[in-house]
Structure 1
């Protein structure tokens, strides 16, 4: 019986995080209410504070869930070379829920932001994924893997923001091909 209760609790939490992620992306964090989230998840709104404490706790769970999705996407099977992080990241930014990352990024840059650490971990995971993808000797001598990862991740984040703000002005396929063309030949598609 206890196992079934634990399973229901975990499923409720998962449904609430998924509903919140969708709604935060669609309506924005501030405009989304507990009622909206509960209705979308099909769960009592009293479950939200029980699971997360408050709306901010739920937001942190959403960001952590997305961070885990990124980390899982970058984790290759044991002994294998990581997949192409540019393919992974460009696919990831097309997901509707990543629209949420644009307004939250503005909040995360504030020193006292409760989601600052979550974003720092997300960006670190992206940089580590890029660095793991770089074969030894693939970069020009004056370029470190760390600096290259910062530049590539920064470019993709900037492209994502521009595309979300003005999708009619940014062709993601063309931008992806351009980024790919600018990469050193030794970093060609894996």
Structure 2
């Protein structure tokens, strides 16, 4: 029987982590340079210096590899703990701006078409990626929930608001990639943050599915909004 010391196991783990990092670094560079479809395991092996057979051992398949690349890029600039520690939504959006400017942020959208049209692993993995983004925003909202809020109502509203915020972030991100000179990225992100902050109380006070009262709408004698549009 061969006995491997704890020191030996740690060394093996370190080698495995180093191989994984080198594969991810090479894949991120090649996906950004050539695109997902034009990059092969052979290309990644040559760029990383890691044997081709090690790639599926770490990531199972190409779909798993590309999602690992995307998730690492997100976690590097917007780690999960940031969602709970950041005091203001505007500061959290600064992290999103850094992601857009990171150079390889197009990876977020690179597999979107396949995720929308497919039903296999890519779609499932992209769903998990979006769920993680929404979950982080829910954590931020929950950390700022007032003690007086009804937990059940607040939880549902936080889920809906996180989806809306994530959609806004992804939409601005996409526009900045496709048409970067059409608007100022920081101003667009801060505008969304300011609008949301202004109406933050409605997240917990308005039941899900009910539109908040228009603050600027004139009132009738019974207190109802008068619609002029």
Q: Normalized against structure 2, the TM-score is what?
A: 0.65
Correspondence for 1:74: 80
For residue 50 of structure 1, report the CA deviation from its aligned partner.
Answer: 4.2
Residue 219 of structure 2 is aligned to residue 175 of structure 1: no
Instruction: State which of 154, 159, 171 in structure 1 corresponds to 2:172.
Output: 159
Structure 1: state its 5+ residue gaps: none
Instruction: State which of 59, 84, 98 in structure 2 corresponds to 1:91.
Output: 98
Whose Rg is larger? 2
Correspondence for 1:115: 122
What CA deviation, in whole Å up to 9, does each residue of 1:76-106 have, x standing for no partner? 59xxx43143233332232222211112112
Residue 163 of structure 2 is aligned to residue 150 of structure 1: yes
Correspondence for 1:41: 48
* In structure 2, C-alpha distance between the alignment counterparts of 1:145 and 1:37, rounded to whole Å: 41
* In structure 1, C-alpha distance between the alignment counterparts of 2:28 and 2:115, rounded to whole Å: 17
Correspondence for 1:101: 108
In the TM superposition, what are the counterparts of 1:126-145 in structure 2 within 5 Å?
A: 126-134=133-141, 135-136=144-145, 144-145=157-158
Aligned Cα RMSD in Å?
3.1
For residue 53 of structure 1, report the CA deviation from its aligned partner.
Answer: 4.1
8 Å CA contact retained: 1:107, 1:113: no
Of stretches 50-59 and 169-178 in structure 1, the one that deviates more from structure 2 is: 50-59
Q: Normalized against structure 1, the TM-score is what?
A: 0.77
Structure 2: state its 5+ residue gaps: 1-7, 201-229
